[in-house]
Amino acid sequence: MPYDAVVIGAGVNGLAAALHLATKGWKIIVVERAEIAGGAVKTAEITQPGFRHDVYAMNLGLFAGSPFFAAHKDRLLAHGLDFVGAEHCFATAFPDGGWLGVEKNSEANASRIAALSPADAERWRAMTAAFGEDAPHIFGLLGTPLPSWQALRVAFSAWRARGTAWVADTARLLVSSPREWLDENFESEQLKAMLAIWGMHLDFSPDCAGGALFPYLEAMADQAFGMALGRGGADTIISALVRAIDAAGGEVRLGAPVQSIAIEGGAAKGVVLAGGERIEATRGVIANLHPRVLFGQLVPATSAATRRLARFRSGPATMMIHLALNDLPDWSAGAELRRFAYVHLAPSLSALARTYTDALDGLLPAEPGLVVGQPTAIDPSRAPPGKHVLWIQVRVLPSRIRGDAAGSIAGRNWDEVKEAYANRVIGIIERYAPGFAGSILARAVHSPADLERDNPNLVGGDSLGGSHHLDQNFLFRPAFGWSRYGTPVDRLFMVGASTWPGAGTGAGSGFTLAKMLAGA
């Protein structure tokens, strides 16, 4: 019996689309090449038994605050979804022994900033006061398809409520680099560094146009709402989605790689699995895939439009290092840092800019930006009693190695150099937390090459589904004319991090497409 739609890929956007359509009466099947669902959201014991590591995504704040979760909250909670709130969200430790952080207490944040700059503290307070009025308009835009009448209505509503000057200032924010926005608003170099690292969570160095929005939104949203982690692991959202799809009459089939998409008369009619089984789809195929995987591997890139999609540009690579620990790092900057979900090691805008340039030049950065996640500070259930896991994301790195900026690593292949480079990362943390290395019980290092082997959508080790620079964002994600989830093949749709609104766990593209297809 044919299905209404086949979804390729059991990542968060594919599962979100499947669940929404299933609840609207569509007969849905999700096919996934891997033996577990989740894509870049999965949790596993990859160091020692009893230590549960979020292999890629850790922060689920975007999911917890998403329109998709609001629409399906009761259903997902009934199927086991559980969050743990983090009130101490992120901090940056500095080489001089100081630190600065953001928690769910705006006055505590402002007081720490005031010690560096009273003027910055006042600007922070003003920004905090305005965020409550600004956020609905900004998030409203991020939650609408582009282009669309809905987006125009959001913009018109913002103009009526906030005025022409606010619309102009927001437009400037959308196209500004982090450095431009930070220099315009603050004078403390430490405050600027604390915020600028959020640009590197995407692929924005301090000087990349379009990178200012994320640091602003992350800081203000975390301060307002806190962060959200999955109790026991980020995969709580995946297991709940899979169970909810099953309960709604849908199907998720794992270990089922797609060999090709069946196209007849210029329209997608289903998929062919490895081994030859064909699954029919009467209303369409939804691909939760990177454009270079979809067009080039599953669909021949024979037209100008499909070739343009197949050239979708990746961002810089990343490395994941997972540690089983006897104890959390003993941060020299202060014991308070042990309470934060994230501790960033990114001392300055110039250091971040140098790292980014080195990575683009094919060099292993001497001092990469580090995102040190401390999930067991928030959720002790992820490790045996008294033990901890550490989640380290190294940003940013080259996909292909041409050399080493520090001149000490000779290899040119990630399989050869990943352990040596992980040692460099551990050494950097050791400088901020002396004795840290002695607390390590076991480690698992995932290089950019490992990321792509594990998940072909992480092309070149880019964990973000493609660069978010302005030429590949908004109306241009993944390409101009194809930002509303359609493709040059009729009834073939595309969702995921490579589509608007981009990377993250918010399920934005999957939910938006599903609503468009179902009519609500």
pLDDT for the residue 1: 74
Distances (CA, A) of 492 to 268, 289, 443: 6, 12, 41
H helices present in 102-212, as ranges: 106-114, 118-142, 149-162, 164-175, 178-185, 189-201
pLDDT for the residue 154: 93
Which tokens sit at 306? 């499909």
What pTM does this model have? 0.97
pLDDT for the residue 296: 84
Q: Is residue 162 within 8 Å of 137, Cβ to Cβ?
A: yes
Which residues does 40 contact at the CB level (< 8 Å), separation at least 6? 11, 56, 57, 455, 457, 458, 463, 497
pLDDT for the residue 212: 98
pLDDT for the residue 385: 98
Band (pLDDT 50/70/90 cuts) for residue 248 is very high
Let me know if residue 96 belongs to a domain.
no
Do 164 and 242 fall within a single domain?
no
Let me know if residue 138 belongs to a domain.
yes
Which residues does 156 contact at the CB level (< 8 Å), separation at least 6? none
Looking at the DSSP bridge assignments, the partners of residue 195 are: none
pLDDT for the residue 218: 97
Quick: pLDDT tens for 23-46: 999 999 999 999 999 999 999 999
Let me know if residue 343 belongs to a domain.
yes
pLDDT for the residue 514: 98
Do 321 and 298 fall within a single domain?
no
Of all residues in the chain, the percent with pLDDT exceeding 70 is: 100
Let me know if residue 226 belongs to a domain.
no
Do 380 and 445 fall within a single domain?
yes
Quick: pLDDT tens for 461-492: 999 999 999 999 999 999 999 999 999 999 99
Mean predicted confidence (pLDDT) in 438-450: 98
Determine if the peptide bond prior to 478 is cis (ω within 30°): yes
Which residues does 252 contact at the CB level (< 8 Å), separation at least 6? 10, 15, 18, 29, 30, 32, 37, 242, 245, 246
Let me know if residue 224 belongs to a domain.
no
Question: From edge to edge, which strands make up the β-sheet containing 369-373?
Answer: 99-103, 88-93, 342-345, 369-373, 388-397, 317-325, 440-446
Do 305 and 325 fall within a single domain?
no
Do 445 and 427 fall within a single domain?
yes
Query: Does 322 score more than 80 pLDDT?
Result: yes
Beta strands (DSSP E) in 224-306 are 227-230, 251-253, 258-264, 267-273, 278-287
Do 475 and 428 fall within a single domain?
no
Boundary residue ending a domain (410, 428, 454): 454
Rounded distance between C-alpha atoms, residue 138 and residue 166, angstroms: 11
pLDDT for the residue 252: 98
Let me know if residue 94 belongs to a domain.
no
- HSE toward the beta carbon, residue 440, CA cutoff 13 A: 20
Do 320 and 270 fall within a single domain?
no
Query: Does 150 score more than 80 pLDDT?
Result: yes
DSSP 216-246: HHHHHHHHHH-EEEETT-TTHHHHHHHHHHH
Distances (CA, A) of 188 to 116, 185, 491: 6, 10, 52
pLDDT for the residue 87: 98
- Structural domain for 127, as ranges: 105-218
Quick: pLDDT tens for 332-373: 999 999 999 999 999 999 999 999 999 999 999 999 999 999
Do 470 and 499 fall within a single domain?
yes
pLDDT for the residue 89: 98
The total number of structural domains in the chain stands at 3
Rounded distance between C-alpha atoms, residue 342 and residue 339, angstroms: 9
Q: Which CATH number belongs to the domain containing residue 247 in this structure?
A: 3.50.50.60
Boundary residue ending a domain (218, 249, 275): 218
Rounded distance between C-alpha atoms, residue 130 and residue 158, angstroms: 13
Let me know if residue 484 belongs to a domain.
yes
Which tokens sit at 88? 């101490």
Do 415 and 441 fall within a single domain?
yes
Looking at the DSSP bridge assignments, the partners of residue 494 are: 287
Do 289 and 214 fall within a single domain?
no
Let me know if residue 223 belongs to a domain.
no
Phi, psi for 292 (deg, rounded to 5): -75, -20
Which tokens sit at 436? 């840290």
Boundary residue ending a domain (187, 218, 249): 218
